[in-house]
């Protein structure tokens, strides 16, 4: 089903095994996609199969039994899962991306999360929608964190909060790890697409967070982690770009590929109404539309893989991407989503009004892709402005997410 030839996307034996495992799950995820959307959560059968295949520990450190996969592998595996179901791919890639963030915490915190359960799933919201008070040994935190994807199935939550000093003055932005017993999940995720991600609201009231389960967001963005961290080179990956590539962009690649395959598959049996074409595939106009969509999907892959390779290569060298490199990666990732959005629009037009029938998987792909593409971190105009300023040497900053 992949547009990019397999030997170009699966560069290592380890990643090939993971990709093979993901591909074997596609029929099950596709079969459960309608129920996933109807129930607004992943069915237990899907969750169990994903766990059994090791899909929730792609980014977990190897010392806990995880795969510690590169960003490129994480993206490619997540994209394959999206060929079966966008919501399943989204949950897997979010949990893995947050698992990677956990690997940046002090080892004591990592031990508490993965030492006790290597299969632990962690949802996350970095928005500091909370209040906090510094107390002896840590903080007491209260808040509501919206859009915690995978919250139904998570064992822990990563939440953002404003960090106060002993006088109450805010001195930093932090992220903290909360075990599931310390919070509740409110059923607030009622949306048009990605309905099965369970991106609900996490609520905590006056919970104690020990110091070792807190990390500074600005320092994480700058690659400044606790000295006792013993992770691999992967932990040196560009922070914002890592959290964008896997959970937000990878599902789009798989959805685009799935849409293309669906339209191609029906083209030999579907006529073009009000024409003499009994098969869409025989129409030059249809052929041009399919070619244009495929080209945009291929373009998306090329940009995403360039960004992932830039990030992985720099991390492997123990180097941080410079600001221009980070912004090019963000531009690549955001632009790729735009290409997929355009490609799916073209495919819907080529396939016809039947695309929007309840029984057609195309309408679910369209809605899933459309909702995912509107994530705030992907704003194309903002990212273009940031990239343009960097290219021109303009020092003005409009966002901390460089």
d(Cα 172, Cα 216) in Å, to the nearest integer?
7
At 9 the pLDDT is 42
- What whole-number distance in Å separates Cα of residue 368 and Cα of residue 371? 5
Q: Which residues contact 80 (CB under 8 A, 6 or more apart)?
A: 2, 19, 22, 23, 26, 254
For 248-309, give the DSSP string.
IIHHHHHHHHHHHHHHHHHTTT---TTSS-SSGGG-HHHHHHHHHHHHHHHHHHHHHHHHHH
d(CA 255, CA 269): 22
Whether residues 374 and 293 fall in one domain? yes
**Nearest to 179, CA basis, from 147, 133, 141:** 141
Classify residue 363: in a domain, yes or no: yes
* Span between the terminal Cα atoms of the chain, in Å: 34
- Looking only at the bridges linking them, the beta strands covering 130-135 and 122-125 are unpaired
The structure tokens 């909060």 sit at 161
Residue pair 19/9 in contact (Cβ under 8 Å)? The answer is yes
Q: Are residues 104 and 45 in the same domain?
A: yes
pLDDT at 227: 65
Residue 400 covered by a domain = no
Q: Are residues 293 and 355 in the same domain?
A: yes
Q: How far apart are CA 401 and CA 274, in angstroms?
A: 51
Phi, psi (rounded to 5 degrees) for 134: -75, 130
Residue 173 lies in domain: 122-222
Question: How far is it, in rounded angstroms, from Cα 23 to Cα 15?
Answer: 12
Q: What is the CATH number of the domain that holds 374?
A: 1.20.140.10
Give the residue among 364, 335, 362 at the shortest CA–CA distance from 349.
362
Same domain, yes or no, for 106 and 164? no
Q: How far apart are CA 147 and CA 202, in angstroms?
A: 8
Structure tokens of 255? 């959805």
Same domain, 151 and 58: no
The per-residue DSSP string of 299-358 comes to HHHHHHHHHHHHHHHHHHTT-PPPHHHHHHHHHHHHHHHHHHHHHHHHHHHHH-GGGGST
- Domain shared by 270 and 288, yes or no: yes
For residues 208 and 245, membership in a common domain is answered with no
Backbone dihedral region for residue 397 (phi beyond 0: left; psi -120 to 50: alpha; all else: beta) = beta
* pLDDT for the residue numbered 7: 40
Among the candidates 61, 84, 116, a domain finishes at 116
Q: Are residues 69 and 139 in the same domain?
A: no
Residue 8 CB neighbour total at 10 angstroms: 10
- Residue 201 maps to which CATH number? 2.40.110.10
Neighbouring-strand partners of residue 123 = 157
Q: Domain total for the chain?
A: 3
C-beta separation of 132 from 139 below 8 A? yes
Residues 205, 246: one domain?
no
The answer to whether position 2 is within a domain reads: no
Provide DSSP, 113-176: IIIT-TT--EEEE-S--EEEEEETTEEEEEEEEEEETTGGG-SEEEEEEEEE-TTS-EEEEEEE
Length of the chain as a residue count: 402
- Along the chain (402 residues), what's the average pLDDT of each consecutive run of 10 residues? 41 80 98 97 98 96 93 97 98 96 94 92 94 97 96 97 96 97 97 97 98 94 73 84 92 98 97 96 98 98 97 90 94 98 98 95 98 94 96 92 86
366 and 245: one domain? Answer: yes
Question: Can you read off the two tokens belonging to residue 83?
Answer: 């060929």
Q: How far apart are CA 194 and CA 40, in angstroms?
A: 9
Q: How far is it, in rounded angstroms, from Cα 122 to Cα 140?
A: 20
């Amino acid at each position: 089903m992949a547009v990019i030839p397999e030997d170009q996307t699966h560069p290592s034996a380890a990643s090939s095994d993971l990709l093979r495992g993901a591909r074997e799950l596609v029929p099950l995820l596709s079969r459960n996609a309608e129920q996933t959307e109807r129930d607004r959560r992943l069915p237990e059968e899907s969750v169990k199969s994903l766990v059994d295949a090791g899909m929730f520990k792609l980014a977990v450190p190897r010392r806990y039994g995880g795969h510690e996969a590169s960003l490129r592998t994480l993206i490619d595996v997540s994209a394959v899962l999206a060929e079966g179901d966008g919501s399943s791919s989204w949950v897997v890639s979010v949990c893995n991306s947050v698992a990677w963030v956990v690997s940046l915490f002090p080892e004591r915190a990592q031990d508490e999360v993965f030492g006790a359960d290597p299969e632990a799933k962690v949802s996350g919201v970095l928005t500091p929608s909370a209040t906090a008070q510094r107390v002896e040994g840590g903080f007491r935190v209260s808040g509501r964190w919206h859009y915690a994807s995978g919250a139904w199935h998570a064992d822990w939550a990563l939440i953002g909060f404003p960090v106060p000093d002993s006088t109450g003055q805010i001195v930093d932005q932090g992220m903290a790890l909360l075990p599931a017993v310390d919070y509740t999940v409110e059923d607030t995720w009622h949306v048009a697409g990605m309905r099965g991600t369970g991106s609900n609201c996490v609520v905590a009231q006056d919970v104690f967070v020990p110091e070792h389960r807190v990390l500074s967001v600005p320092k994480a963005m700058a690659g400044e982690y606790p000295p006792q961290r013993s992770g691999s080179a992967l932990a040196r990956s560009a922070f914002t770009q890592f959290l964008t590539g896997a959970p937000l962009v990878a599902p789009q690649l798989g959805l685009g590929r799935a849409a293309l395959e669906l339209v191609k598959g029906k083209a030999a049996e579907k006529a073009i109404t009000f024409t003499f074409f009994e098969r869409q595939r025989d129409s030059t106009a249809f052929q041009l539309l399919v070619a244009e969509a495929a080209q945009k999907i291929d373009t998306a892959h090329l940009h995403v893989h360039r960004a992932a390779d830039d990030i992985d290569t720099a991390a492997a060298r123990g180097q941080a991407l410079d600001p221009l490199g980070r912004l090019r990666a963000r531009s690549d990732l955001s632009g790729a989503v735009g290409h997929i959005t355009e490609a799916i629009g073209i495919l819907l037009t080529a396939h016809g009004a039947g695309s929007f029938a309840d029984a057609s998987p195309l309408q679910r792909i369209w809605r899933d892709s459309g909702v995912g593409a509107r994530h705030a971190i992907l704003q194309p105009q903002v990212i273009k402005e940031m990239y343009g300023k960097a290219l021109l040497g303009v020092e003005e900053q409009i966002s901390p997410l460089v």
